[in-house]
Amino acid sequence: MMSETVLEVKDLKTWFFTRRGTVKAVNGVDFVLKRGECLCLVGESGCGKTVTALSILRLFDSPPGRIVGGQVIYKGDDLATCPMQRLREIRGGDIAMVFQNAQSSLNPVFTVGDQIAEQVMVHERVSRREALSRAHALMEEMNIPQPGRALNMYPHQMSGGMKQRAMIAMSLSCSPQILIADEPTTAVDVTIRAQIIHILRELKTRRDMSIIFITHDLSLVKDIGDRAAVVYGGRVVEVAAVEDILKNPAHPYTVGLIDCLPDVSSQDKRLPSIAGNTPNPLEMPSGCPFHPRCSHVMDICRSKMPACANITDVHTVSCYLFGDKNGGIAR
Ligand code: SF4
């Protein structure tokens, strides 16, 4: 059952105030996360996926970054504004994050076992011996061979795939309700990628955990996601079940992303792409941020942000092709 909402992000805005101007990296993101589901945030690099994830736990540099609007509701608290003390309890405890690059996320001067045990002891009153025993069990759960030996290794002694799995083990050490995985398979080869996806899918089911999986790769969304939220220009432009979004994409950007999926059976060796580039966040286009690249663009698209329209009860899109042409949001 994927009914209970565990996290609700409402009109979230995270801006960075730099000397060159204001970067509106997240500019009105809305989504809900249900218990036991994997929600994929998908889009090209620079569209706001990672800053959205960092904003949930306020993990971006401030200054220059600041949440200027919106809410992140978790267990009745608004994580966008709650006291830092409460946020620290939630970080790594209730909500954990796995970053893209395990190499730079692990401390090179401590063994992996020490780092996992430390994480457990920060959040729970347990002895070091018990924390290490939990670390051992987690390494086993991650299918790391000879887990006792692996616990005594320093990060540089591990392969890329082992390090990424050790990072996942560390993030799971306090049994989080929500795991945020930011492109966790970017730096690993295809076999390790398949293993990590398999592990995450199993964890989701076994622990009834919710996952926010961030990726630019729609083929991964097929493998792991229950629902997908397509992000562009710092906003969610379409949300639906993964199967629905892949079969019946509505937003022209989603259609473009799906058309870019490589077809190995095709004789045509050219890789398709979406015309144009992601917008410069310092000079975000007026109206719909996709309008400079959209082949369906209309006059209204250039001046007013489209509101969210329902295609079905569980499939929403932010595009004038589907909503009331006068119902946009002036921004
Ligand atoms: Fe294209 Fe207009 Fe829809 Fe934006 S609102 S995706 S520009 S048709």
Q: What is the pLDDT of residues 207-231, one digit of tens each?
A: 889 999 999 888 889 989 999 999 9
Which residue has its alpha carbon closest to ligand 1 atom 3? 319
Q: 218 alpha carbon to ligand 1 midpoint, in Å?
A: 21
What is the CA(127)–ligand 1 centre distance, in A? 57
Q: Which of these, 112, 111, 130, lies nearest to 121 by C-alpha position?
A: 130
Encode pLDDT of 114-168 as tens digits: 998 988 888 788 888 999 998 898 888 888 889 899 999 999 998 888 888 888 8
For the chain, which domains are there?
Answer: 5-94+176-322 (3.40.50.300), 101-175 (no CATH)
Atom nearest to 289 CA in ligand 1: 4
Measured in Å, residue 301 CA sits from the centre of ligand 1 at 6
| Pocket lining: 319 vs ligand 1, CB cutoff 6 Å | yes
Contact yes or no for 234/24 (Cβ under 8 A) = yes
Decide whether any atom of ligand 1 lies within 6 Å of the 296 Cβ. yes
- Is 158's C-beta closer than 6 angstroms to any atom of ligand 1? no
Query: Does residue 255 have its Cβ closer than 6 Å to ligand 1?
Result: no
How many whole angstroms from 238 Cα to the centroid of ligand 1?
Answer: 12
- 3-state SS string for 184-240: CCCCCCHHHHHHHHHHHHHHHHHHCCEEEEEECCHHHHHHHCCEEEEEECCEEEEEE
Residue 253 has pLDDT above 90, yes or no: yes
Contact 230, 236 (CB under 8 A): yes
Find out whether the beta carbon of 232 lies less than 6 Å from any atom of ligand 1. no
pLDDT number for residue 106: 84
Q: Is the pLDDT of residue 319 over 50?
A: yes
Q: Would the pLDDT of 330 be above 70? A: no
Q: Which of 291, 299, 322 has the most ligand 1 atoms within 8 A of CB, as the residue to mutate? A: 291
- Alpha-carbon distance of 29 to 198, in angstroms, equals 29
The answer to whether the CB of 320 is under 6 A from ligand 1 is: yes
Closest C-alpha to ligand 1, atom 7: 291
pLDDT tens by residue, 198-209: 888 988 888 889
Instruction: Tell me how far the alpha carbon of residue 307 lies from the centroid of ligand 1, in angstroms.
Output: 11
pLDDT at residue 121, rounded to an integer: 87
| 8 Å CB contact between 42 and 31 | no
How would residue 271 be classed by pLDDT, with cut points 50, 70 and 90? low
Output the CA 291–ligand 1 centroid distance in Å.
6
Q: Is any ligand 1 atom within 6 A of the Cβ of residue 290?
A: yes
- The predicted-structure confidence for 23-33, as pLDDT tens digits, reads as follows 999 999 999 99
Pocket test for ligand 1, best of 321, 329, 331 (most atoms within 8 A of CB): 321
Centroid of ligand 1 to alpha carbon of 113 (angstroms): 50
